[in-house]
Amino acid sequence: MGWKSKYSCGTEVIISKNLGTVGRFPSGCYSKGDTETSCPNLPMLFKHSSIIDEEEVDFGLKVVGGDLMAIPGLHHFVQETISKQVARLYLWPQTLDIPILDSSIGAVKKPVGILHVKVLRAQKLLNMDFLSKSDPYVKLSLGGDMLPAKKTTVKMNSLDPVWDEDFKLTVKDPEAQVLQLHLYDWEKIGAHDKLGMQVVPLKLLMPYEKKELTLDLVHSLNPNDPQNKKPRGQLMLEMSFIPFQEDSIKFSGPLSFHERKESISSLSDDISLRGAGLLLVTVIAAEDVEGKNHTNPYAVVVLRGEKRKTKARNKTWNPKWEEEFQFMLEGAPLKELIHIEVKSKKRRFGFRSKELLGYVDIQLKDVIFNGRINEKYHLINSKDGILHVDIRWKVI
């Protein structure tokens, strides 16, 4: 059984046992012995590295003179399984995370307010159907936001639909984000036809002030698109941007509202506690979560019947998620609990099995009074499991 050295710098770069190099970095890296690799002239910009690669492991398995490895399909399966187990004895640590950049650099922007949008109506829309009129609906989203788009109801057989429907979207950067509006003709079968679209930069809004807009729909934002010459109707809506109280004084320019500072600071604590807001729940990580049959943990966050799930982390007792979920609430959840479960799931032979690894119920009263909690909780129904969460309350 033999082993050779391998070094991975972002992309796969193989370093041979001699002092030569293979890859894009001539004379940039060299190896010492069989397991140590040095890169004195290469900036260390990567986060993960692999320093060992396994050779093939061959073996036999005989019972009462018979070679079990001769059974079709068994040799490959057993060889792969044993090779992985042997490799784990030599690979330590299996994962080594090295912080290279300060956490403040490139940090994800946090929500600073709520955009209220009321889709009023549309007029003179294109008729995309042959025997009837279009069945329009509107999709709304904010640029740079990975959350699913919101939708109005479908208005059947109408080129002048009236919606009067309200939506709330979380704003992270009002100076740069735009509201994206797409109109479609609903189809029972097949793709929905595009009726038109338009965008509204949020920097045009004054905080707290309602703005009514009539937008001429276009096919695309490309000024050279010949289909933009065709009239596509108009969309009417109302918009207003409401900053969170603690972020109110940050904005300037078109979003300046320094004249409101006195009224904001004079708001009573009672109003802050009873008012609407945004609950931000970040599931950071878990420790020592062990399953009886499998350990591919993921977290489920439940509040007021709404469920949000993290991605699953395969074959680990110490998963790291760092996933944030947003709950828009009309009133402060002073007497409510947030329920978080850690589960494991596995698919085998087409069947999926799930297992509860532990759960915790967190009182939200402390979050409302303090604005934020960042704690580790012992999981119920788990021997040693711990869940790390960060919860913040943003008042509108």
Confidence of residue 313 (pLDDT cuts 50, 70, 90): very high
pLDDT at 245: 79
**Where, residue-wise, is CATH 2.60.40.150 in the chain?**
113-247, 273-395
Which one of 3.40.50.620, 2.60.40.150, 3.40.309.10, 3.30.70.360 gives the CATH number of domain 273-395?
2.60.40.150
Report the distance separating Cα 8 and Cα 15, nearest Å. Answer: 9
User: What top-level class would CATH report for the domain 113-247?
Assistant: mainly beta
For range 236-264, the mean pLDDT: 65
Distances (CA, A) of 171 to 96, 103, 174, 178, 215: 35, 22, 6, 10, 21
pLDDT of residue 346: 86
- Binned at pLDDT 50, 70 and 90, residue 278 comes out as very high
The Cα 367–Cα 370 span in angstroms is 5
Q: What is the pLDDT of residue 145?
A: 81
DSSP letter at 232 equals -
**Which residues, at least 6 apart from 395, have a Cβ–Cβ distance to it below 8 Å?**
244, 245, 246, 272, 275, 276, 277, 332
pLDDT band at 129 (very low <50, low <70, confident <90, very high): confident
Alpha helices by DSSP H, the chain: 74-90, 261-265, 269-274, 365-370
Work out the pLDDT band at 251, boundaries 50, 70, 90: low
Q: Check whether 24 has a pLDDT greater than 80.
A: no
Per-residue pLDDT tens digits for 191-243: 999 999 999 999 999 999 999 999 999 999 999 999 999 999 999 999 999 99
